[in-house]
Amino acid sequence: MKVAVVGVTGMVGRIMLKVLEEENFPVTELIPVASEKSVGKEIDFKGKKYKVVDMLSAIAAKPQIAVFSAGGGTSLDWAEKFAEVGCFVVDNSSAWRMHPEKKLIVPEINAHELTENDLVIANPNCSTIQMVVALADLHKAFKIKRIVVSTYQSITGTGKAAVEQFENERSGIEGKMVYPYLIDKNCLPQCDVFTDNGYTKEEMKLVNETMKIFNDYTIKVTATAVRVPVVGGHSESINVEFEKDFELEQVREILKNTAGVILQDDLDNKIYPMPRYAEGKNEVFVGRVRRDFSNERSLNLWVVADNLRKGAATNAVQIAKYITKFIK
């Protein structure tokens, strides 16, 4: 099976290679793809070296699967061109997420919706993925009415240049500023650009993508997304109101058995999720599970995941794994 990784030299692209290897994905030929300035560079994968190629060369090679992580503009320009040669495209950008004819997939929740005709498949936003994975089975049991989420998002979500800014600040070096302010020892209440309604694009992704993934447009969602000087992963404080009442033991039992979730909720031993310990892991970690005593049928959760893994590369590879059954 020929697999193209588009944006292979970026942070997520490199993690995709790791996850493909860890998952023992049936790659017989890797086609690493990047911008013109990276063409010709060598990429190591499973002990072999592959040269980075451009888009047209990758399409000419007719891969069966292409995993994109190269930005929305690139995806809009090229995803359907790969699809035209019969290639399944799993796209990690925001380009296709809200397109009415494209599926938005978190495998634990809605991979069963995919068919052999879905050649361009959208990977959700990182902060949306970890939230819906944590809430999916609770939604089935108690039906979500409203979600209030505040995110504490790693600088790795912005990319390599943001990590460089952070490291420069720590070292007292003046360098390129990706953020409008210093990020070290600071919190920026802005992830992505502001929209006309006063929310950022990131916040609106949490709103719109949640409803699409759950296929339930009655769910009300409001979000505040904050960038924090952290590398390991994204954290989320989630308050969720259900239509049905619940017992905390029911909630914990459901979370223990939710696919892709690890419950870390032992207050006596100060065990709860933290981004430092989620880094490099594929699961979504949930803790600080407690009833919201200020509102009936409401629950508070603390949810953490590595945004480059389950929030991006791992979810994309899981989708790719699912669609291999459509490849003859």
Q: Report the catalytic residues.
A: 126, 234
- The torsion region of residue 79 among left (phi > 0), alpha (psi -120 to 50) and beta comes to alpha
4: three-class secondary structure by DSSP: strand
Phi, psi of 303 (to 5 degrees): -125, 130
For residue 54, give the nearest of 76, 71, 72, 31 by alpha carbon. Answer: 31
Integer distance in angstroms from the first to the last C-alpha of the chain?
10
What are the E-state strand segments in the chain?
2-6, 29-33, 42-45, 48-51, 65-68, 88-91, 120-122, 144-153, 220-227, 234-242, 261-263, 284-291, 298-305
Strands 298-305 and 234-242: antiparallel
State the sign of the Cα–Cα–Cα–Cα dihedral 301, 207, 320, 53: negative
- Measure the CA–CA gap between 285 and 263, rounded to whole angstroms: 6
Question: Distances in Å between the alpha carbon of 187 and those of 104, 111, 213?
Answer: 30, 35, 29
